[in-house]
Amino acid sequence: MKSKSELTDFYYKALYPILQDLEKDRKILRSRIISVGTIYTIVFALLIYTVYGSIKDEDVLTWGIFLYVAIGGFIYKFMIKDYTSEFKEKIISPLIDSLEEKLTYHKDLHISEHLFVRSKLFSSPDRTSGNDLVKGEIKNTKIRFSDFHAEKRHRNSKGRDSWSTIFRGLFVVAEFNKNFIGETVVLPDTAQKTFGDLIGNWLQSKNLGRDELVKMDDPEFEKRFVVYSDDQIEARYILSNSIMKKLTTFEKRFGHPLYISFVRNHIHLAVYYNKDMFEPSIFSSLLEYKTAMEYVDTLHLATGIIEELKLNERIWSKV
Amino acid sequence: MSTPLIVLIVVALILVLMYNSLVNKKNQVENIFATIDTQLKKRYDLIPNLVASVSKYMEHEKSLLEEVTKLRADANKPNLSDEKKIKLDAQISSALGSLMIAVENYPDLKANENVMHLQRTLNEVEEQISAARRAYNQAVTDYNNAIEMIPTNFMASAMNYTRKQVFEIVEAERKNVNVKELFN
């Protein structure tokens, strides 16, 4: 697997001619979006002004803003659709190919709902979406990850639906290097952070939706995470002292809430962040170092899990 | 309902909860210790194979092999107390650690498939024992806290519950962890 600097080099050197072409397209698209946006805003403002003038109802303004954002978002997505698709095919796909031969990239697919539910990390969703699925093998260890968005439906007394987000971010599933039978779930520790050790710990032990609370013997890990498992010993077999240290480091590096579970000999890792992974930038240059690093960083963090957690090292009886 | 009756019911309820919590903690310790026993048995079963596979190569390490064999025989004796088991476990861990380090000095042995397989299995068993030990220590800590802290300590002394011993980490294992940390 390529290192981060090798990937950055590849982004700039091998992809440079394509990046330059895309940069031209991006500039044209940007000015088109600005013109369309300006005209759209003026037309909409005039329309609202006229309607409000004749009806004089405050609701017109509220509905007006809602419609303005919704239609605006739709137009924006429609305008960048082709460019996004081209960017992913010409930049992201080769970037992933160069990282590891045995990885394949599917820009329109995502992790299956079955894997999300299997992880036991979140409640079952009513609607799922996502994109940018990467799957394959790194150092003989199977891995797949994608952007994932899971939502729950709520129906009010009038029968109207509304949706709330259960999870949104990067979802990674990889083979684990030890065999295990039970289920162990590692969640961000919000109770202890909010209520302190004594009450926080008591609250955690009373979480009826989860298995038994497992108190871990690494103070730093215990401060950041809470562990539930149906097997006290197996949870500690999986979460050895070294893997706890690595997960703590990993969480610090991500800088976003991290949810991890060990189910059916696989590790499931969900990084909660409200951003799509490989979307092209429209308002900043593709040739800028910061922009390039964002793509490289995301890719490296997602695939880095194999090396960071040493999932490819089979020193145990599992072959 | 009269106030004294309510107070009496509340006090009785608290006593029952304290009693149950102490019994629960004691049983948790016993339950996890039973699992450690199973894991240790797995390790004792591996020892004769290991000794047989390496003994013809390791002429200079005869005393180490004899020690491992003797410790295994001691550990297999019936009616050992928990304290004795904990002590023997520490001694065997340390002796097996030295044996594995000695294996490193014999290139033929290191490449031997049978020894490699035994080493891998032993490694896994060691990890499982270590996990069980950590679970046991946590259960014992919870139990010891309960029998020493107010108000459960009064109930515990009435029940004749006494402190239990935790597994102490073998010195060699501590070193191993440090070495790993250096390279990670």
Contact A102, A129 (CB under 8 A): no
pLDDT average, residue stretch A272-297? 84
Residue A30 at interface with chain B, using a CB cutoff of 8 Å: no
A317 has a pLDDT exceeding 80:
no
A217, A245, A317: residue with CB nearest B124: A317
User: What gap in Å lies between CA A205 and CA A196, rounded to an integer?
Assistant: 14
Residues with Cβ < 8 Å from A150, sequence gap 6 or more? A113, A116, A122, A125, A127, A128, A165, A166, A167, A168
Q: What is the pLDDT of residues A4-34, one digit of tens each?
A: 888 888 888 888 889 999 999 999 999 999 9
Q: How far is A133 from chain B (nearest CA, A)?
A: 30
Write A107-110 long-range contacts (CB < 8 A, 24+): A107/A131, A107/A132, A107/A278, A109/A133, A109/A146, A110/A146, A110/A147, A110/A148
Measure the CA–CA gap between B83 and A282, rounded to whole angstroms. 68
What is the chain A residue with the closest CA to B179? Answer: A242
Taking the Cβ of residue A241 and every Cβ of chain B, the question of whether any pair is shorter than 8 Å is answered with yes
Give the number of A-B residue pairs with CB atoms closer than 8 Å.
48
CB within 8 Å: A316 and B127: yes
Whether A236 and B134 lie within 8 Å, measured CB to CB: yes
Residues of A in contact with B139 (CB under 8 A): 232
* CB-nearest partner of B123 from A235, A242, A316: A316
Residues of chain A positioned with their CB less than 8 A from the CB of B21: none
Q: pLDDT confidence of A132, banded at 50, 70, 90? A: very high
Minimal-distance CA residue of chain A relative to B123: A316
A217 vs B138: CB contact, 8 Å cut-off? yes
Tell me the nearest-neighbour CA distance from B133 into chain A, angstroms: 8
- Residues A190-230 pLDDT 10s: 877 777 777 777 777 777 789 999 999 899 999 999 999 99
> Nearest CA of chain B to the CA of A189: how many Å?
19
Mean pLDDT confidence for A283-303: 83
Query: Percent of chain A scored above 70 by pLDDT?
Result: 98
A313 touches chain B (CB under 8 A): no
Which band of pLDDT confidence, cut at 50, 70 and 90, is reported for residue B169?
A: low
Most B CBs within 10 A among A201, A242, A315, A316, hence the mutation to make, goes to A316
Task: Answer whether B68's CB lies under 8 Å from B95's CB.
Answer: yes
Of the partner residues B120, B123, B128, the one whose CB lies closest to the CB of residue A237: B128
Q: Does residue A237 have a pLDDT over 90?
A: yes
Query: Is residue A318 very low, low, confident or very high in pLDDT (cuts 50, 70, 90)?
Result: low
Reported ipTM: the value is 0.81
DSSP labels, A33-71: HHHHHHHHHHHHHHHHHHHHHHH--HHHHHHHHHHHHHH
What percent of the residues of chain A are helix, what percent strand, and what percent coil, each to the nearest 5?
50, 25, 25
Q: What is the pLDDT of residue B112?
A: 85
Query: Which residue is closest to B118 within chain A, CA to CA?
Result: A317
pTM, to two decimals: 0.85
Give residues with Cβ within 8 angstroms of A225, minimum separation 6: A186, A187, A188, A189, A216, A247, A251, A260
- Yes or no, beta carbons of A242 and B180 under 8 Å apart: yes
Q: Which residues of B touch A315 (CB under 8 A)?
A: 120, 123
Average pLDDT, chain A: 89
Q: Would you say residue B174 has pLDDT above 80?
A: no
* B181: pLDDT strictly greater than 50: no
Closest by CA to B34, choosing from A262, A211, A232, A263, is A232
What is the spatial distance between Cα A102 and Cα A134, in angstroms, rounded to a whole number?
A: 10
Distance from CA of A190 to the nearest CA of B (A): 22
Max Cα distance, chain B (Å): 84
Contact (CB, 8 A) for B100 and B86: no
Residue of A nearest to B129 (CA): A237
Residue from the list A178, A215, A317 with its beta carbon closest to the beta carbon of B120: A317
Distance of CA B166 to the CA centre of its chain: 8
Cis ω before A188 (30° cut-off from 0)? no
Q: A312 with A306: CB under 8 angstroms?
A: yes
CB pair distance less than 8 Å for A240 and B130 = yes
For residue B27, pLDDT beyond 80: yes
Contact B135 A236 (CB under 8 A): yes
